[in-house]
Structure 1
Amino acid sequence: MIRVLQKKFVFTAMIAVSILILILLGTINVVNIIMVRNETNQTLSMISEADGNFDHIQPTPSSVPPFDFRIEPKDERDKFLSSNFFVVRLNGNGQIIFTDVSRTSSVDEASAEELALRVLDEGTRTGKVGKYRYQISNSHMGDETVIVFLDNSEEILSYARVLFLSGGIGIICWILMLFMVMFLSKKAIRPIAENIERQKQFVTNAGHEIKTPLAIILANMEAMELYNGENKWSKNIREQTVRLNGLMKNLLLLAKMDEGAAEIIKSEISLSELVSENVRAFAEPLNLRSITLQIEIQPKVIIKANKEQMSQLISILLDNASKYTNDSGTVIVSLQQSDKRIKLLIKNSCEKLPDTPPDKLFDRFYRGDKARTQKTGGYGIGLSVARSIAEANQGSITAVYENPNFVSFTVRL
């Protein structure tokens, strides 16, 4: 139980850490993309406004004296000189009159002119083609058109560099956080674990202490009836004593399973025969209430499990169906095996479906029908015991509501 609680704590904490890291890394990369793209667009606009001519860029006055090592952003001339680009100029008739590829070594004049004509046919003023961003603008020299292509390889490398660095750092941080959470989880859940252990120990001790007085009360009641005969009071005392004794046995069984102390001896058993035996035991009480019993049991379904526990599990589900099925209703029992997976289905009709979610039915001391009390028998912990038995035998049990007014319990093993 403590290990399960610790695993859930680590799992929940790491989900929160993962979400936080993903948000942080995503924000860093998105901000980096926006900033680098804006800087590239500003450089492209600056070169385009200067028609790709360095002489058209006015020098920016600098407040930093020469040989001063204070860091300031590059001015427009420095950005121009450090950029890789080429320029194609066209006249008013769309004919190429000038091509400058001196600022790049990866494109010749023919390729530059072909690329310029292609983007001109697309009709967009700005865009991207291959590794180049381009901008089409009107030249300051008459009716000429200038197309500037700026190499954005550095932009792409910046995206990749930040992505891989942040991803690597994020993975390292996640692993470090995992070790830290695993190390601190024991301390974090220690108060809860101690409280749970005290509760389990209390139930176990109280159960053993109460069993002795109950046995004495029942023995004295039987002795009184030998001398004075049975009456309604003695009968009521015996019934309630037996009921309380059964409740304590179930509570002790739950406590042992929660502690993992319940001894589970598994063997190969015929689940088909086990289900059939339990169904036969409930057939007559169901028949007396005119309840239709539909049975579909696949033969020779073999499973490795604890026979007594599996019999108790089936009995609990059939007893629950018997108690809560409306008169003249229907109980369906089905056992099927497919691809080494076994499914036991027990469902029953009822007058009205419970108002709470189906999983609530497995809560201890919960009753789906508030109007039902001790008259129906049971203790309100039967389904909780059934779930513990299923999990102890590496299985699961679920409940669903089906129309019209059917409650279905499915055990998967």
Structure 2
Amino acid sequence: MERSQDPLPFGNRKNEEDIWMSSNFFVVRLNESGEVIYVDVSRTSTVTQEEAVVLAGQAEDNATKSGRIGQYRYQITQMNTAEGTVVVFLDTSDEMLSYLRVLLLSGSVGIVCWCLMLLSVFLLSKQAIRPIAENMEKQKQFVTNAGHEIKTPLAIIQSNTEAMELYQGENKWSRNIKEQTERLSDLMQHLLLLSRMDEGVEHVHAIDFCFSDLLMESVRSFMPLMESKQIDVHTHIPSDVQIHADQSQIEQLCSILLDNAVKYTNEGGRIQIELMQKEKHLQFTVQNTCKRLPAVSPDKLFDRFFRSDEARTQKSGGYGIGLSVEKAIVQANHGDIRASYMEPDVICFTICV
């Protein structure tokens, strides 16, 4: 006796007869004139003969051999043995319901998996970012501590150099010591300011004051340097322009911006300073000519310790942190600063506060 084949895990595959027996369908025959000559609704309990005739008429009107009407798919076939056609309707409601169940199940599983993944990323990201955050915090603290530690030796060097000049007189070595001490002291002041802003301990004490007077005073303080380089200065500063910000920080901002313009403007070049009131905001622009434009994007100029002089010489006296301080001050006072190049040799800094 031949051994029967073991059934599949989910049952044996249905043959054509099983499929035909389990399907809900009905058949309508029409003659050559389109009149109904036969209706078979024995394989369905939801459609009457009258409804079957109506559906057959709709299928004929569609002028397609196959298609869908509601929950039924139909197929129109020409009879071989006689004139006329046969229209077979198949109920696909169960199939549509199965599709919807699969779609709903797939969507639910996808949403659950996405939520689990999001929760995992949220929990693991803290562990992954913690070392980086701690390292950045240590770097900020190091700059602050180092700055305070260096301030004392700088003050001692400065005072000892001045005392030595009282006994021996000023010479080129003492002048160099004082210049480099002042340079390093200025650098440490900027680094400490940036560090305090990064740590959030540098508070902004905003008040209302006249920005026009402050800017004019800053320009006057730089006039001797501009005249020494034969720089042509153009200013457009309306009177009595008020601003709500930290006055000491805005004063430092103007000083750094004008100092930067004077340093990098070529001999006999041009500086243009303009202040405009735009609705509730102020726009402050400084344009200056230079020997050649930096070979980097304007946004790169605000990076800390960026120098257009790749050799990093002290010929210009800068150390590549002034614009970083400017950006920090502007952001602390809820403003925006941007740089742009204007051909052929003009750099423009625009501040909106």
Both structures adopt the same fold (TM-score exceeding 0.5) = yes
**1:241 Cα offset (Å):** 0.9
Q: Secondary structure at the match of 1:119?
A: coil
Higher relative contact order (CA 8 A, sep 6+): 1
Contact 1:99 1:113 in 2 (8 A): no
Residue pair 1:99, 1:112 contacting (<8 A) in 2 also:
no
- Paired residue type of 1:375: K
Aligned partner of 1:373 in structure 2 is 313
1:237 aligns with 2:177: yes
Go from structure 1 to structure 2 and tell me whether the alpha carbon gap of 1:382 and 1:137 turns closer, same or farther (over 3 Å shift).
farther
Is the partner of 2:208 in helix, strand or coil?
A: strand
Who is 2:149 aligned against?
Answer: 209
8 A contact 2:36–2:53 mirrored in 1: no
State the partner residue of 1:116: 60
SS at match of 2:315: helix
Task: Determine helix, strand or coil for the equivalent of 1:224.
Answer: helix
Q: Which moved more, 1:280-289 or 1:94-103?
A: 94-103
Higher helix share: 1
Cα distance change, pair 105–187 in 1 and its aligned pair in 2 (3 A): same
Q: Deviations over 1:171-230 (max 9, x none)?
A: 555455545444443322222222222222222222222211111111111122222222
- Do the aligned partners of 1:293 and 1:331 also contact (CA within 8 Å) in 2? yes
1:407, 1:76 → 2: CA distance?
Answer: 82
- The 5 A counterparts of 1:248-287 are 248-287=188-227
CA contact (8 A) 1:90 1:96 kept: yes
The alpha carbon displacement at 1:246 in A equals 0.7
Give the letter aligned to residue 118 of structure 1: N
Matches within 5 A, 1:325-344: 325-344=265-284
Residue in structure 1 matching 2:250, options 310, 322, 332: 310
Q: How many residues align?
A: 345
Alpha-carbon separation, structure 2, partners of 1:332 and 1:301: 18
How does the TM-score come out when normalised to structure 1?
0.68
Q: Partner residue of 2:127?
A: 187
Question: Residues of 2 paired with 1:338 and 1:81: CA distance?
Answer: 81
Write the distance in 1 (CA, Å) between the matches of 2:184 and 2:114: 52
- Alignment RMSD: 3.8
Task: Give TM-score, length-normalised by structure 2.
Answer: 0.78
Q: In structure 2, what is the equivalent of residue 15 of structure 1?
A: none
Q: Which amino acid aligns with 1:346?
A: V
Higher mean alpha-carbon deviation, 327-336 vs 146-155, is at 146-155
Match of 2:255, as an amino acid? S
Partner amino acid, structure 2, of 1:403: E
Supply the distance in 2 between the matched residues of 1:257 and 1:187 (Cα, whole angstroms): 26
Query: For residues 75 and 235 of structure 1, do their structure 2 counterparts lie closer, same or farther at Cα, with a shift above 3 Å needed?
Result: same
What amino acid maps onto 1:286 in structure 2? M
Q: Residues 22-101 of structure 1: matches in 2 within 5 Å?
A: 70-77=10-17, 79-80=19-20, 95=34
> Could you tell me how far 1:269 is from its partner in structure 2?
3.2
Cα separation, partners in 2 of 1:135 and 1:242, compared to 1, 3 Å: farther
Q: What is the alpha-carbon distance in structure 1 between the residues aligned to residue 69 and residue 241 of structure 2?
A: 66
CA distance in 2: counterparts of 1:270 and 1:149, whole angstroms = 86
Matched, 1:349 2:289: yes
Contact 2:147 2:188 survives alignment (8 Å)? yes
Using the TM superposition, give the Cα deviation of residue 366 of structure 1 relative to its aligned residue in structure 2, in angstroms: 0.8
Checking the alignment, whether the CA contact within 8 Å between 2:34 and 2:84 is kept in structure 1 is: no
Partner letter of residue 109 of structure 1?
V
Q: Which moved more, 1:193-202 or 1:251-260?
A: 193-202
Aligned residues with identical type, % of pairs: 51
Q: Distance in 1 between matches of 2:94 and 2:235?
A: 72
Q: Deviations over 1:249-291 (max 9, x none)?
A: 1111112122222233222333344334333433453354344
Give 1:226's match in structure 2, choosing from 157, 166, 172: 166
Report the Cα distance in structure 2 between the residues aligned to 1:407 and 1:330, rounded to whole angstroms. 11
Counterpart contact for 1:336–1:342, Cα < 8 Å: yes
**1:154–1:294 CA distance, 2 compared to 1 (3 A):** farther
In 2: Cα distance, 1:154 partner to 1:284 partner: 91
Alpha-carbon spacing, 1:140–1:70, altered in 2? closer, same or farther (3 Å): farther
Counterpart CA distance in 2 for 1:292 and 1:167 is 69
Unaligned runs of 5+ in 1: 1-61
Change (3 A) 1:321 1:154: farther
Query: In 1, Cα distance between the equivalents of 2:210 and 2:38?
Result: 88
What secondary structure is seen at the aligned counterpart in 1 of 2:187? helix
What is the one-letter code of the residue matched to 1:116? Answer: E
8 Å contact 2:26–2:52 — kept in the other structure? no
Matched, 1:409 2:349: yes
Structure 2: runs of 5 or more not aligned: none
User: Comparing 403-412 with 357-366, which one deviates more in the overlay?
Assistant: 403-412
